[in-house]
A = this chain, B = another copy of it.
Amino acid sequence: MLRVGVNGYGTIGKRVADALAAQPDMEVAGVAKTTPNFEAAAAHRRGYAVHAALDERRPAFDEAGIPVAGDLDDLVRASDVVVDCTPAGVGAQNRERYETHDTPALYQGGEDADAVDASFNARANYDEIAASDAEHVRVVSCNTTGLSRVLAPLEEAYGVEKTRATLVRRGGDPGQSDRGPINDILPDPVTVPSHHGPDVNTVLPDLAVDTMGVTVPATLMHLHAVNVTLETEADADAVSETLASESRVFVVPERARVAGPAHLKEYAKDAGRPRGDLWENCVWGASIAVEGRDLYFFQAIHQESDVVPENVDAIRALAGDADAAESVVKTNRALGVGSFETTRSETVTTDGRGAAASADD
């Protein structure tokens, strides 16, 4: 059993902890949190050993009635691997501490690519990372993960001459009541191309990808308007099959009458998915179109959860002995990834068998 510590228990950390708990070959060594808020209390109720990430805040945990299992060093010592889920920029500051304990660590996409040994996406470069001696690895961001999952198979099947994508980004997550914009449509960044294209190149180095970022008043998911100029001709049905054969791409059928992210989220909640999460890229089947060698489609990306199975796989790439195919199957099966339409109304529990039992193998 791989013992995995989770440092940071916010939007990503709490999902990663539950996903780890659901794996047959992993256990949660504990979680670390700076503030004893409602999420820390939930972590304790779920049975995770809660660690106070900042020593000076430890009395606040006592006051809040949340038992503290130790400090951050205790957590790192108890872990074979740490998944750093702290806010962007904090992860890089934590690297030295993990190195002191000689503990490999994962970081999230908010960290700079050059703050780590390598960047990771299961579909793009799992085996390469597993074969390398990288010990400090960044799981690329939600948008980059979403692009990599479709570009890797398109490159393999048809060759990609150039990708141009407009990323219409949610202004903040549902819980981030301090974010905006309200009633605006922001070029973000106003400079073109945005950083997302170069970020894809940290896991798929040879692809030509230009991206433009826009931010809008919505919280549920990002929407990508994607154009891929293929190297060879392909019809829309063939592309649809190529994408549908990917376990982490859900080609939304027209019959589902899914208009946008709000419907997708309803769908996920009705399916009983934990927190209504959508781990897969959601590509509208009706949008897949080819004009000459130009492929177009829309996909929605759930910013809170699409990197969660990637973090699980990255742990195995760093510290396990599974290859990419084995790890992805194991992760998907334990969580129910790719079994969108059949997942029963059960949530992932800390003993990890809830979602696994309901997954469509």
Contact = CB atoms under 8 A, between A and B. Distances in A.
Interface stretch (A118-126, A149-157, A288-296): A288-296
Interface string A218-262: 111111010100000000000000000000000000000001111
A320 interface: no
Contacts of A221: 185
Interface string A276-298: 00000000101111010010111
A191 B192 CA distance: 26
Given A216-B216, A223-B214, A225-B214, A262 B184 contact: yes
A260 to B, nearest CB: 4
Interface stretch (A34-42, A52-60, A164-172): A164-172
A170 B291 CA distance: 27
A211 to B, nearest CB: 10
A294 B184 CA distance: 27
A260 B185 CA distance: 6
Nearest to A226: B212
A337 to B, nearest CB: 23
Interface residues of A, number: 43
A10 interface: no
Contacts of A216: 168, 185, 216-218
Given A168-B168, A185-B168, A217 B214 contact: no
Nearest to A252: B190
Contacts of A260: 181, 184-187
Contacts of A297: 192
A191 B191 CA distance: 28
Contacts of A288: 192
A253 to B, nearest CB: 12
Given A183-B220, A186-B259, A212-B227, 8 more contacts: A168-B168, A181-B262, A184-B218, A185-B216, A185-B223, A187-B259, A187-B287, A214-B225
Interface of A: 162, 164, 166, 168, 170, 181, 183-187, 190-193, 210, 212, 214, 216-223, 225, 227, 259-262, 284, 286-289, 291, 294, 296-298, 300
